[in-house]
Amino acid sequence: MQFLVPFVLSLALAAPVAAQPRSDTLLRDEIAAAIEEANLPIGLFEVDVRDGVAVLSGEVLNETTQSRIVELALFVDGVTAVETDITVLEPEDLADPEDAGDPEAFDIPEDEAAAAPPPPPEGFTARPDDAVQADVVREIERADLEGNDPRVTVNGGVVRLTGQVVSAWELRDLVERAEQVEGVLAVDPDLEVAEPESMEDLVDGIRSAVLRYSYYTVFDDINFGMDEPYVIILRGAVTEPFKKTEIEKRVARVFGVKRVDNQIEVLPLSPNDQDLRRALFYRIYRDPRFSDRANQINPPIHIVVSRGVVALTGVVRSAIESRILESIARSTPGVFRVINRLEH
């Protein structure tokens, strides 16, 4: 079942300075560095970036690692999307061919095999498990969680976190805090995200997270859906890459959000589009029929411009107002096409 919830917009008093696009080479290097710093159990792995889209390919030991790598790439400023060709290795893929003829090579108890830590990376400093555990616990205490702190166990430098958190952001924050502790080889987050008290609370929390974002303006448009329980799909368009990343982080903090699938489009940087946004804003919100809505905390008419194509979204009072706004947009010099998605 899918839920689609339209948002009204929040007009910032001053629009942020347009950010310069970042090169694919820089994005590739930052993604590779983030994956390397995370010390994840991966095999051969390649990172490429094409026009802001990260292309990840290689081998990982489990699906948790696969999800973590995709998340790391998404959180690099300037990455607009992630394409994956990642293989999750099956147990038989991990066997050493030289041991194939040695029956004793496979005579390892299953619980011991599952608990075996990954090999340490070059330069790794091993520490006693009890010392690592104490430091991880201290780091988690600094997180000031809304619920109870998770249980921490350490085996051979591998930290296992068990318990419950209130959001996807808390889960990610705990993992990152544990990864930063000296002597941690890997982190196994066996954490459950608590369910919200009601679907209304979840929707209100997500709406508030977006509308109270200070850089969210009438030139952006966000909506969201859910096709798995409490896995939020963000859609729509924003004028700057950093908005896409920061909105995802804000939504991930909402109580009950288990994961965020960020499908927000970053609109192309274009001086002509910028001029059109300003012209349309003044023509619409200085029109006597709509000027009263310019002073609202969340002006209800959204103006999304991409390469001269204008999409009008939001809420108006009547079908007549919808037609008037469409006419204003069509008569504005430089507009190639108008898409009317206004609701009333």
Q: For strands 221-228 and 231-238, give the pairing.
A: antiparallel
pTM of the model: 0.62
Q: Checking DSSP bridges between strand 53-60 and strand 259-262, what pairing results, if any?
A: unpaired
- Bridge partners, 60 (sequence order): 42, 88
Q: Distance between CA atoms of 141 and 145, rounded to whole angstroms? A: 8
What is the identity of the amino acid at 36?
A: E
pLDDT in tens, 249-279: 999 999 999 999 999 999 998 899 999 999 9
Confidence (pLDDT) at 109: 52
CA distance 80 to 53: 6
- Render pLDDT for 142-190 as a digit per residue (tens, 0 to 9): 887 877 889 999 998 899 999 999 999 999 999 999 999 999 989 999 9
* Domains identified in the chain and CATH numbers: 24-92 (3.30.1340.30), 271-343 (3.30.1340.30)
Alpha carbon 180 to chain centroid distance?
Answer: 21
Q: Are 206 and 6 in contact (CB under 8 A)?
A: no
Question: Rounded mean pLDDT of the chain?
Answer: 82
